[in-house]
Amino acid sequence: MRDSYTGFTDSSLYLAGTGEGLIHKCSCSNSQQFLETFREHFGPVNQVAWCPHSPDVFLSCSSDWTIQLWKQDHLKPVLGFTSTQTAVCDVQWSPKWATVFGAVNEEQLEIWDLNWSILDPVSVQPAAAGVKMTSLLFATQTECVLVGDSDGQVTVYQLKNLSVGDITDSSLSPKSRGPDGESTVTFRFKPGL
């Protein structure tokens, strides 16, 4: 279960995902009850992430293989996303583009652009052999995504030529993998439907 304390204009409010698949809106001033409960996931909620561009929108991801897009005044999700049949470990919004978010499951990094497709990620980067991806973070000052893995390593992927809504010529490439130095692996965004 991960809590999310940002997003509300009232800093005493926060969201808490549960092992039962629920997301509770809570208040620091009232620990006796939940203010609201968001229900859609059928497995543990692994992350809740507020959109930095819209204070009433958030994403959640779960071990039920799904990512859900929510508005805080709706108790059911606005959109749901699934790309693989594995638990989604982490989801984060891009700090630069309002329609872009990233997600990792044990097998891969996914970059989604809602302007491009709501059915498929615009980019998929498989995990290295024998390694499970566990977490991600968009860098705030550069166009990079950092991905943590089960070996305790962090891989930095550079977003190249990302033009939101028109990304057929864009690419991601690993900059390095821990102390092993530079990597030369590059992959291209695939067109969405």
CATH code of the domain containing 96: 2.130.10.10
- Does residue 180 register a pLDDT over 70? no
Decide if 171 is inside a domain: no
Does 30 or 167 have the greater pLDDT score?
Answer: 30
- Collapsing DSSP states into helix, strand and coil, what is residue 1? coil
Decide if 5 is inside a domain: no
Decide if 40 is inside a domain: yes
- Does residue 12 register a pLDDT over 60? yes
- Does residue 190 register a pLDDT over 50? no
24-70, pLDDT tens digit by residue? 999 888 778 898 999 999 999 999 999 999 988 999 999 999 999 99
Q: Which of 182, 191, 193, 120 is nearest to 157 (CA)?
A: 182
- Collapsing DSSP states into helix, strand and coil, what is residue 179? helix
Task: Report the range of poorest mean pLDDT among 58-67, 136-145, 176-185.
Answer: 176-185
**pTM of the complete model:** 0.80
The domain total for the chain is 1
- Does residue 182 register a pLDDT over 70? no
Q: Which helix (H) or strand (E) holds 108?
A: strand 108-113
Task: Report the range of poorest mean pLDDT among 8-17, 44-53, 121-130.
Answer: 8-17
Domain of 39 in residue numbering reads as 13-160+182-188
- Does residue 188 register a pLDDT over 70? no
What gap in Å lies between CA 12 and CA 95, rounded to an integer?
A: 23
